[in-house]
Chains A and B, each alone.
Chain A
């Protein structure tokens, strides 16, 4: 996945000019026990002013359900550079933990950027900004509780 992302991120705002400026970042989370089918998640980066920057990861393979992640879908619609190739993975079941590895440019860390995770479950609605995590090395590893289908999540860098 890391490799995929590295390839994908070439040419986007996230790209570090040289590898030395990139940082391995892991998002770890735990789904709540909500009873029901597996959840779709969208993980995206927001600028310090809160506006959408780029999409990092989408869990769930059937793209026709992506519009249920309505908060993210609305923002991603404006993203002309977005390509979902290589940044999608399996949907995540109730009560399961997940871990997403990313390679982010150094410049994004401790610069006011936030990672947003939206979630949606078939026939059970969706949660925009289920979890919002600050890209702040001081908060590395501290878990935030989710508002929707995510029990808790943390970012480790």
Chain B
């Protein structure tokens, strides 16, 4: 719901809002320009100013002072710039054609009242976008306190979040004041301006010299907005003086203040809001608002990209029965959206059997389904046994779920090589049972998208429902390319830890669009991204962390041979000249941030490879500390020569290489404890941790670091939620 509120007006209003923001950004320069050309401030009175102006321009009808301090005398409709110190003419005031043009464009798009409505609607859309965006961000970051944690996700997502966080307060200010100004324009909100104020009559006596008029002497020009001079031939006419406080009339003979109407509170409010919207007279505010406005087009583009990606990655579910009519509800919890394709298969099979099916994300669980007799939950597990983003409020929503007469089945999706295989789905299973719902079939975990296991589950589900349910799932295959092996280096044979470093040539782009993309760096990969390798005997890809960048021209991975490992056996059998079918999957959450705080890299075995990739890319000489673990330096010291060279080149600050099968051998987690003091000092400097290796090593590292961090009143968990701890363990 919140997301809809953010994306629908965003997409609809994107162009108009961006247009308003860009024109607004141009206008924001006006206070700055005026500031640059503004005359020096001074303390003279209005009486002195008008006296000096008249000495140079005897025909002056009115004098206006702008928020920036520029003084203009009007002779008929000709504006003449005035040096307020001397009263001398600075020549005719040419209103900047640029700013005049953009002011009208921004206010009304040159479309009169229709354009003003459009501008007002854009401002309202902007308010909705900014507030729903803040709410989404709080959701995504997990609370107010994490609001400024490092953003994660793809480049678009990160850019969107980072820019929005920087700009949102200013954008909200511009938008809300813009809405107010629109309401004032259409008279829905009063600007407090009194009706037509008639000037009173003056005494009609002989006019006195202007410099001697007491009421004008009392007003400093810093308070002056405008002064309308009496008609030359009319002794009854008066000075009409508008100041920041109100409007008054001054007799030209006695200099008495004949009448003064102070600004109404609504008028003071109007002027304050007008100033906040335009930044007039406050050049720094103008610049701030302008910079924030410039973020809007970027937010629009990245927002659209995010929306498109989400849409295209989600399979279409045509002919959804709707939650009111459905007899079967399928709920999907998926981080990478692969689970949606299983839901689509299930939906099709059920619909073929005559069921009315409704498919929704798990967070879309409603309080009740009036026609449903079963709820089928397809839940993937994310990371350390946690819920995927579209399922993170499911348990909370389940508490309010009225499930009388509704049976359920939970299907878990995961990968057995992770310790917390299907842990979240199990949590869901327990929660549904505890809620008093009746299971149709037992809980079923699906390992690595196994179509066979899915089919079996379908048969059992069908049997329990008293029908035949055939689930023929065709997993969508990623597009692969042929990567030719050009180099291999073997390590660790002697210490029973065979590890191979493989370097593949990047295949030439098959089409010009792809060639262009890779030129622009849109198609490229970075160290830490994943290479998905398709072993010839299995349709499921295996993922390996990449140590190189696409800019290096090679794809480099490091593979540890596993007992009975299908893919690692296959890769170990490769000889230079052989090719593999592979593709690259971005892993934006495991990438060094762009800061200059120290980076602490921890890895063992093949897990060192992406970390070495990070060191290679450290051209800015950020302090980088690498803890690497192996068994024996004489056999499996991966990247030994290269790391030495990187130390000399300054891309690596310090290397802590530890080995377990030597005299006094240790693991990386022990070495971390030895360096506790230095680590604490780095953490105080804002250091960021990146950990890559086996799950067991990952656990050991967490335990050690918790010990190291305890004196600082910190923990790995807190660093992680602050975006300072990233791990890629398997």
**Considering only CB atoms, which chain B residue lies closest to A147 in the complex?**
B76
The A64-106 residues at the B interface (CB cut-off 8 A) are 64, 66-68, 70-71, 73-74, 76-78, 84, 93
Contact B194 A64 (CB under 8 A): yes
**Chain B residues whose C-beta falls within 8 Å of the C-beta of A61 in the assembled complex:** 187
Quick one: given A37-B104, A77-B198, A126-B61, are A64 and B77 in contact (CB under 8 Å)?
Answer: no
**Chain B residues whose C-beta falls within 8 Å of the C-beta of A147 in the assembled complex:** 76-77
Contact B78 A67 (CB under 8 A): no
Q: Does B703 contact A (CB under 8 A)?
A: no
Q: Which of B94-102, B141-149, B517-525, B720-728 contacts its partner? A: B94-102
Quick one: given A36-B100, A67-B199, are A126 and B62 in contact (CB under 8 Å)?
Answer: yes
Q: Does B539 contact A (CB under 8 A)?
A: no
One digit per residue, 1 when the CB lies within 8 angstroms of any chain A CB and 0 when it does not, for chain B 64-86 equals: 10100000101011110000000
One digit per residue, 1 when the CB lies within 8 angstroms of any chain A CB and 0 when it does not, for chain B 224-238 equals: 000010110010010
Quick one: given A35-B101, A67-B240, A149-B77, are A124 and B198 in contact (CB under 8 Å)?
Answer: no
**Chain A residues whose C-beta falls within 8 Å of the C-beta of B198 in the assembled complex:** 73, 76-77
Q: Does B214 contact A (CB under 8 A)?
A: no
**Chain A residues whose C-beta falls within 8 Å of the C-beta of B104 in the assembled complex:** 36-37
Contact A73 B97 (CB under 8 A): no
Interface centre among A77, A130, A149 (most CB of B within 10 A): A77
Q: Does A45 contact B (CB under 8 A)?
A: no
Quick one: given A119-B77, A125-B74, A126-B77, are A67 and B101 in contact (CB under 8 Å)?
Answer: no
Query: Whole-angstrom distance from the CB of A125 to the nearest CB of chain B?
Result: 4
SS class of chain A's interface: helix, strand, loop or mixed?
mixed
Contact pick for B193, options A63, A68, A121, CB 8 Å: A63
**Chain A residues whose C-beta falls within 8 Å of the C-beta of B64 in the assembled complex:** 123
Interface centre among A62, A63, A70, A84 (most CB of B within 10 A): A70
Contact A70 B62 (CB under 8 A): yes
Contact B95 A125 (CB under 8 A): no
Q: Does A127 contact B (CB under 8 A)?
A: yes
Contact pick for A125, options B66, B76, B107, B193, CB 8 Å: B76
**Chain A residues whose C-beta falls within 8 Å of the C-beta of B101 in the assembled complex:** 35
Quick one: given A37-B104, A74-B237, A127-B77, are A67 and B196 in contact (CB under 8 Å)?
Answer: yes
CA distance A57 to B387 in the complex (A): 70
Contact A63 B76 (CB under 8 A): no
Contact pick for A77, options B76, B79, B195, B199, CB 8 Å: B199
Contact A125 B62 (CB under 8 A): yes
CA distance A84 to B193 in the complex (A): 16
**Chain B residues whose C-beta falls within 8 Å of the C-beta of A128 in the assembled complex:** 61, 76
CA distance A120 to B97 in the complex (A): 18
**Chain B residues whose C-beta falls within 8 Å of the C-beta of A73 in the assembled complex:** 196, 198-199
CA distance A147 to B200 in the complex (A): 28
Q: Does B197 contact A (CB under 8 A)?
A: yes
**Considering only CB atoms, which chain B residue lies closest to A73 in the complex?**
B199
The B91-138 residues at the A interface (CB cut-off 8 A) are 95, 97, 100-101, 103-104, 107, 112
CA distance A37 to B200 in the complex (A): 29
Contact A64 B193 (CB under 8 A): yes
CA distance A91 to B230 in the complex (A): 26
**Considering only CB atoms, which chain B residue lies closest to A125 in the complex?**
B74
Q: Does A29 contact B (CB under 8 A)?
A: no
CA distance A87 to B544 in the complex (A): 80
Contact A74 B195 (CB under 8 A): no
One digit per residue, 1 when the CB lies within 8 angstroms of any chain A CB and 0 when it does not, for chain B 35-58 equals: 000000000000000000000000
SS class of chain B's interface: helix, strand, loop or mixed?
loop
**Chain A residues whose C-beta falls within 8 Å of the C-beta of B103 in the assembled complex:** 37
**Chain A residues whose C-beta falls within 8 Å of the C-beta of B194 in the assembled complex:** 63-64
Contact B228 A67 (CB under 8 A): yes
**Chain A residues whose C-beta falls within 8 Å of the C-beta of B197 in the assembled complex:** 64, 67
**Chain A residues whose C-beta falls within 8 Å of the C-beta of B237 in the assembled complex:** 74
**Considering only CB atoms, which chain A residue lies closest to B78 in the complex?**
A125
**Considering only CB atoms, which chain A residue lies closest to B230 in the complex?**
A74
**Chain A residues whose C-beta falls within 8 Å of the C-beta of B112 in the assembled complex:** 93
Query: Whole-angstrom distance from the CB of A135 to the nearest CB of chain B?
Result: 24
Q: Does A148 contact B (CB under 8 A)?
A: yes
One digit per residue, 1 when the CB lies within 8 angstroms of any chain A CB and 0 when it does not, for chain B 654-696 equals: 0000000000000000000000000000000000000000000
Contact pick for B196, options A63, A71, A148, CB 8 Å: A63
**Chain B residues whose C-beta falls within 8 Å of the C-beta of A37 in the assembled complex:** 103-104, 107
CA distance A19 to B72 in the complex (A): 49
Contact B77 A35 (CB under 8 A): no
The B176-224 residues at the A interface (CB cut-off 8 A) are 187, 191, 193-201
Query: Whole-angstrom distance from the CB of B590 to the nearest CB of chain A?
Result: 55
CA distance A123 to B191 in the complex (A): 19
Query: Whole-angstrom distance from the CB of A131 to the nearest CB of chain B?
Result: 12
CA distance A110 to B129 in the complex (A): 63
**Chain B residues whose C-beta falls within 8 Å of the C-beta of A124 in the assembled complex:** 77, 79, 95
The A109-157 residues at the B interface (CB cut-off 8 A) are 119-121, 123-128, 130, 147-149
CA distance A128 to B76 in the complex (A): 7
**Chain A residues whose C-beta falls within 8 Å of the C-beta of B240 in the assembled complex:** 67, 70
CA distance A76 to B64 in the complex (A): 23
Contact pick for A123, options B95, B199, B201, CB 8 Å: B95
**Chain B residues whose C-beta falls within 8 Å of the C-beta of A76 in the assembled complex:** 198
Contact A126 B199 (CB under 8 A): no
**Chain A residues whose C-beta falls within 8 Å of the C-beta of B199 in the assembled complex:** 67, 73-74, 77
CA distance A54 to B386 in the complex (A): 80
The B338-392 residues at the A interface (CB cut-off 8 A) are none
Query: Whole-angstrom distance from the CB of A139 to the nearest CB of chain B?
Result: 24
CA distance A68 to B193 in the complex (A): 14
Quick one: given A119-B77, A126-B74, are A84 and B62 in contact (CB under 8 Å)?
Answer: no
CA distance A62 to B100 in the complex (A): 20
One digit per residue, 1 when the CB lies within 8 angstroms of any chain B CB and 0 when it does not, for chain A 14-35 equals: 0000000000000000000001
Query: Whole-angstrom distance from the CB of B32 to the nearest CB of chain A?
Result: 18
Contact pick for A74, options B66, B100, B234, B247, CB 8 Å: B234
Contact A125 B231 (CB under 8 A): no
**Considering only CB atoms, which chain A residue lies closest to B226 in the complex?**
A68
**Considering only CB atoms, which chain B residue lies closest to A120 in the complex?**
B77
CA distance A35 to B499 in the complex (A): 75
Contact A127 B193 (CB under 8 A): no
Query: Whole-angstrom distance from the CB of B186 to the nearest CB of chain A?
Result: 10
CA distance A127 to B103 in the complex (A): 23
Contact pick for A127, options B76, B97, B107, B200, CB 8 Å: B76
**Considering only CB atoms, which chain A residue lies closest to B97 in the complex?**
A35
**Considering only CB atoms, which chain B residue lies closest to A61 in the complex?**
B187
Interface centre among A36, A77, A125, A128 (most CB of B within 10 A): A125
CA distance A130 to B234 in the complex (A): 19
**Chain B residues whose C-beta falls within 8 Å of the C-beta of A62 in the assembled complex:** 191, 193
Interface centre among A64, A119, A128 (most CB of B within 10 A): A64
Contact pick for B77, options A63, A84, A148, CB 8 Å: A148
**Chain A residues whose C-beta falls within 8 Å of the C-beta of B187 in the assembled complex:** 61
**Considering only CB atoms, which chain B residue lies closest to A76 in the complex?**
B198
CA distance A77 to B230 in the complex (A): 13
Contact B61 A35 (CB under 8 A): no
**Chain B residues whose C-beta falls within 8 Å of the C-beta of A67 in the assembled complex:** 196-197, 199, 228, 240, 247
Contact B95 A36 (CB under 8 A): yes
20 CB-based A-B contacts, threshold 8 Å? A35-B95, A35-B97, A62-B191, A62-B193, A63-B196, A66-B196, A70-B61, A70-B228, A73-B196, A77-B199, A77-B201, A93-B112, A123-B95, A124-B95, A125-B77, A125-B78, A126-B74, A127-B76, A130-B77, A148-B76
Name the 9 nearest CB pairs between A and B, nearest first.
Answer: A64-B193, A125-B74, A77-B198, A63-B196, A148-B77, A127-B77, A125-B77, A66-B196, A63-B195
Supply 12 further A-B pairs (C-beta < 8 A) apart from A61-B187, A62-B191.
A35-B95, A63-B195, A67-B199, A68-B228, A70-B61, A70-B62, A70-B228, A84-B196, A124-B77, A126-B61, A126-B62, A148-B77
